[in-house]
């Protein structure tokens, strides 16, 4: 254990210089975006094309708006259920068939659900497949081509809940933490092989997912919500700078630091926040 601690101090404490000349530019690149027909995914597709991407693949279970957006942007749409590995495999194959290679894969699709440990197994399994396994399926099928070329970029959309927690939803918190962990593993394992990784962790964003939430944390997040275009702007900047964490809400970095510096104090604060949500909900009734 002591040897591991020393090793971590030596290697994780060192600063590694990288060349700016190799930083990712979206011009003339090919990007695949899952959950690309709406919300953050749609905004990223639009922004990538505005940045000069030569190819855009809009993957979504809701194929009609995906096809409409693809027509608007000059890309292609692929009906994709990210919970099915065969769909992800077919998506990667279709993108390569259309454009020759994938430079940037945005594993963006996600779902939310309220509840705790007493939620039925099928609820837990359903959100696990979309919020975690979809990232694994994407890496499994997109990495071989990227590693063969010695370059590629993977962006995983998680949530601030993956760094902090989501009051009122154990399944969402657990799966978003797992998504962040898998993105970290990708960056550690393949970062020296030319694979860049970013992990998007916003708080409230004005999307269908947030608009459907009501009461408690949902009201708090809506009050401070960003537009999807703001998130897409943060994503583009992070990709160009090859930053791992993409934090459209900069205060999340401060909260994350507080959590790390004093975990017990942070937990007490989160309990107080939870109590305030319950109190406001009771008063509203």
Q: Which residues are catalytic, by number?
A: 172
CA distances from 98 to 37, 50, 55, 117, 178 (A): 19, 20, 9, 44, 32
Q: Cβ distance 78 to 91 under 8 Å?
A: yes
Considering only CA atoms, which of 109, 145, 150 is closest in space to residue 130? 109
Q: How far, in Å, CA of 215 to CA of 234, rounded?
A: 28
Unique residue bearing structure tokens 């970095």: 253
Considering only CA atoms, which of 194, 199, 191, 239 is closest in space to residue 26? 239
Residue 257: left if φ>0, alpha if ψ -120 to 50, beta else—which one? Answer: alpha
Measured on CA atoms in the order 126, 128, 129, 135, is the torsion positive or negative? positive
Q: Which two tokens stand for residue 18?
A: 């990288």
């Amino acid at each position: 254990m002591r040897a591991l601690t020393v090793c971590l101090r030596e290697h994780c404490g060192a600063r590694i210089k990288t060349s700016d000349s190799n930083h990712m530019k979206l011009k003339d690149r090919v990007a695949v975006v899952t959950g690309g027909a709406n919300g953050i995914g749609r905004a990223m597709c639009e922004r990538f094309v505005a940045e000069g991407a030569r190819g855009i693949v809009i993957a979504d279970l809701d194929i009609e708006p995906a096809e409409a957006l693809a027509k608007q942007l000059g890309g292609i749409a692929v009906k994709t259920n990210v919970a099915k590995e065969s769909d992800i495999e077919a998506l990667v194959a279709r993108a390569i068939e259309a454009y020759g290679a994938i430079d940037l894969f945005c594993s963006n699709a996600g779902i939310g659900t309220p509840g705790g440990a007493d939620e039925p197994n099928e609820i837990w399994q359903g959100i696990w497949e979309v919020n975690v396994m979809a990232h694994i399926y994407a890496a499994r099928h997109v990495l071989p081509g990227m590693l063969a070329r010695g370059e590629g970029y993977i962006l995983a959309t998680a949530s601030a809940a993956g760094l902090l927690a989501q009051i009122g939803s154990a399944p969402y918190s657990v799966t978003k933490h797992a998504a962040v962990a898998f993105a970290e593993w990708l960056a550690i394992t393949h970062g020296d092989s030319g694979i860049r990784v970013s992990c998007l962790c916003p708080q409230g964003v004005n999307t269908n997912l947030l608009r459907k939430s009501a009461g408690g944390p949902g009201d708090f997040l809506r009050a401070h919500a960003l537009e999807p275009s703001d998130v897409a702007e943060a994503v583009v900047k992070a990709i160009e700078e090859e930053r791992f964490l993409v934090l459209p809400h900069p205060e999340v970095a401060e909260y994350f630091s507080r959590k790390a510096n004093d975990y017990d104090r942070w937990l007490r604060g989160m309990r107080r926040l939870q109590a305030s949500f319950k109190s406001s909900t009771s008063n509203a009734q």
